[in-house]
Every structure is written in C-alpha cells, then in structure tokens.
Amino acid sequence: MQSDNALKFYIDGRWVMPSGADRMDVINPANEHPFMQIAIGTIEDADLAVQAAFEAFPTFSQTSKSERLELLRNVLRCYNDRYEDIAQAVSTELGAPLKFSREAQAWAGQIHLESTIEALEAFSFDEHNGSSMITWEPIGVCALITPWNWPLNQIVCKVAPALAAGCTVVLKPSELAPLSAMIFAEVLEEAGVPKGVFNLINGTGPVVGQYLAGHPRVDMVSFTGSTRAGIIVAKTAAETVKRVAQELGGKSANIVLADADLEDAVIKGVEACFSNSGQSCDAPTRLLVPAKRHAEALEIAKRAAAATRVGDPLSENTDMGPVISQQQFDKIQGLIGVGVEEGAILVAGGLGKPEGLDIGYYAKPTIFGGVTPEMTIAREEIFGPVLSIIPYDTEADAVGIANDSIYGLAAYVQGGNLERARAVARKLRAGAVYVNYAPWDTHAPFGGYKQSGNGREYSHWGIRDFMEVKGIVGWGA
C-alpha cells in the first residue's frame, strides 16, 4: 500500500514537497520489507507548518460552535468513507491483525470523532459567576506528537478536540507508522478544513518533535509516547512556558480479588495484556492474584497463552501479530532474559520467535509467575506480550503493590462483590481504573498520575485541555 502523498507534507491547505532530501523506508513488521518511503522533515518544514497554523488561528479561533460542529461532522463522514483504507494501512504499518485493525484501531478514530462531536454539542464556552463572565477560549497553535502503537486513537483524540476548541494544529505522527496519518490528512482535506488549520509533517522526534516543542509560536504541546521522551519534550517546552499535556508510559496492575471468578479473570487478563501485541501504554501487564491460588492462576494463564494464535496479520485466525520493529523486538527479548535471570517462573513463551515465524518481528506470548514487586519485569514497561503474575497475601498488600510504581496510567480490578471492587478502585493511584473488564469509554477522562503524564484526553475533557480560561470581571456591572 502506498499514498500518492507519501513524499509530501500537508501544509497550509496543500500537499507540498519537503525542503530537504532525506527519505526513510517504512517497514512492514510482518515481513521485514519496506512497503513505502516517506520524507523526513527539517526545522525549515516545521517552521512553515507552524507559520501556517499561526496565520490561520485568528480567523479559525473566531468561528462559531456550529461551524466547528459542521466541520467535524464532515470529517467523520469522510473518515467513514476511508475506513477500510485506514484499517488496511494500520495493519500494514503496525502488523496488527486486519480484523483488529478494523474493529479496534480504525474504530478508535471513528469513536473519538463521534464522542468529540457529542461533547461539543453540549459544551458551554461561557458561564456567569456573579458579576463576572468566565469564558473558555482556544489556547492557540498546538503541536501534536503521536506514537505508532495506536495511531488513529492518538491522532484523533488530539486533533478532534483541538479543532473543536478552535485551535490550529501541526501534527507530527510517528515515522514508524505514518501511512494512516497521511490518509487522515487526506480525510481532513476532503472534509474542507480551512487552510492552515491542520498541518502534517513527518520527521524524527529529536529533530522535528523537539523543535516543535520549543517553537515560540507554539502555544501548547500534546505528546504521547515514552516517559523518557516526554521529559525531554517538557524540558524543551519550559523555555517558552507553554502548556504541555503528556500521556506517557504505564505498568498497569490488574488485581484479581479473592471473590473473583479466577478462571474468567485470568483468561481475560492474559487476552488484555497480549492485545495489540502488548503494545499499549495502559495494558494490564501486572496480574495480581491471591497467593493461595497462585499455582492455579499459572495453569489457567498457561492455557490462555497456548490458545493465543500468533501469525500473519492478514489471516482471519490470527490473534496477535508482530511487534513494530527489530529494536522493539530486541528490547522485549532483553527483558524476558532479565526475568529468567532474576528467578521468575517462566510459565509460557520465552526467548526467540514462535515456531515457524522466522521472518517478521514476532515475539512469543510470554508469562512469568512468582514475580516479586522488586523484579525488573514488574517495574519496567516492556511494551510487548509479556505478563507478570504477582502473588499477594491481603487486599491491602495488593493495593500497595499496585501503587508501588512510578507509573499511574491505568489499573484494573476484578471482583465478585461490586461494592468491594469499587472500594479498591478508589484506592488505586491511576488516571483510569476499569472494574470487571468494563468496556472502553471515550466519555471518561484518560490520562495518568505520576510519571504517566498530566492532562486528560477524550470527550469534553480533551476539549478543555486545549483551552484557556478567561475571567471578564465587571461583565454584569
């Protein structure tokens, strides 16, 4: 699959050639072969994109709510027209099973558009407070830096609320998975987004991403990626005192309470960890089970891992495709090796590739048991299909282990007594807590505690993140 605009950037309402000659192959992780080339941007390209957004802001920021609603509805209509193209693109660039690309990856962009439209319909930009008027106004030019693991989810949950707020944007998607972002840019062009309101450039994080973060005409940076990179973005942005919203790493705990259905909780926990090849920042990668049922949990988990079908993303029978790159594969292998060295019980998977999958960045679905909280695999974000099962003695111990992390993006609680599960959920230091594998809710806020970031995305929470608050005192005088 290739895009006619693969070697171009979308700046100021048109597809333009980049200023430099650098090109990069984009690799299909299922077969390790390049399937397209993209241009790699420079700071000159970034300047042009920011200037276009800067010049478009005074007009677009003054558009009415109804005008922006009409625009977003057009974007949704055009997105739906390109839905299959988007799903195919994500499957190719990420190695995600095609069924998963259709039902989860492409769907995520669609549902964020729908949720943002619904939120904007109900959004009040003005409220009276005594004799003052409190008004919400767009923050300005926004640099959006997005990752490769959920490309449409992270692009749309930033772009849609930014446009809803009246901001103008420059998007820098991951260079590892750029095709779906280009198709999304074509969607916005088809939908009639005014020139300069949305701009897209490709490039590396250390060059283009960091330059955007420090650009004096960028008013806000919304970044999703690793905690390490997020720290660099925040430090760079601090020079110009701009707002920084970050959704960063995670090491989410999944507590199985003593009264939970152990079989159901463990099987679903394994499936949730391995979903998207384990490449989700909120994946439940630490499964906490009662110590008295630890051995039983390992047997259930072993069966669940054996039932996970790894293979060709285009096969309808595939549950899990490859990981994104050789670099990611090597990192996962290294941490699996550390888990073995530190004495964790290897329940399933392990080092190397699954049998018969020598080509492609395929990792074995791996489960460790007998993991203790101080082990590396219990503390570091692996970002692959690796689950650590940790036994606990009491409910208080489970909460303590869950909260003993530098991260706090998500947490999970499984229990037979709903009131008890709710009580545990309140004690967990995480931005999103899911009780009894509740379905994803794009109307709930999404974001992290601690080193998992700051700010909140999704629905009206996302719109507010892209706005400033102004108090006009004496409005009612």
d(CA 370, CA 150) in angstroms, rounded, equals 31
Give the type of residue at 439: P
Q: Please, which residues have CB within 8 angstroms of residue 345's CB and are 6 or more apart in sequence?
A: 298, 368, 369, 370
- The stretches in the chain having pLDDT less than 70 are 1-3
Q: Of 158, 199, 159, 184, which Cα lies nearest the Cα of 90?
A: 184
Kindly state the DSSP code that residue 65 receives in the 8-state scheme: H
Residue 1, pLDDT score:
52
Q: Of 177, 273, 203, which Cα lies nearest the Cα of 45?
A: 203
Residue 201, pLDDT score:
98
Give the active site residue among 247, 273, 381, 457: 247
Q: Which residue has the tokens 């007594």?
A: 417
Mark whether 281 is an active-site residue. Answer: yes
Give the active site residue among 186, 189, 281, 381: 281
Residue 476, pLDDT score:
85
Strand order in the sheet with 467-472: 126-129, 132-138, 467-472
Whole-prediction pTM: 0.96
Give the type of residue at 112: H
Does domain 9-248+452-472 match CATH 3.40.605.10? yes
**CB contact burial 6-21 (16+ within 10 A = b; e otherwise):** bebbbbbbebbebbee
Residue 4, pLDDT score:
79
Q: Of 219, 229, 210, which Cα lies nearest the Cα of 147?
A: 229
d(CA 259, CA 236) in angstroms, rounded, equals 48
Q: Please, which residues have CB within 8 angstroms of residue 152's CB and are 6 or more apart in sequence?
A: 86, 90, 105, 106, 108, 109, 180, 184
Total residues belonging to the chain: 477
Neighbours of 471 (CB within 10 A): 10
Mark whether 273 is an active-site residue. Answer: no
Kindly state the DSSP code that residue 194 receives in the 8-state scheme: P
β pairing state of 23-28 and 33-39: antiparallel
Residue 344, pLDDT score:
98
Helices in 126-261 by DSSP H: which ranges?
Answer: 151-165, 179-191, 210-214, 227-238
Per-residue model confidence as pLDDT tens digits over 14-61: 999 999 999 999 999 999 999 999 999 999 999 999 999 999 999 999
Domain coordinates in residue numbering, the chain: 9-248+452-472, 253-443
Domain 253-443 top-level CATH class: alpha beta
d(CA 418, CA 93) in angstroms, rounded, equals 40
Residue 2, pLDDT score:
57
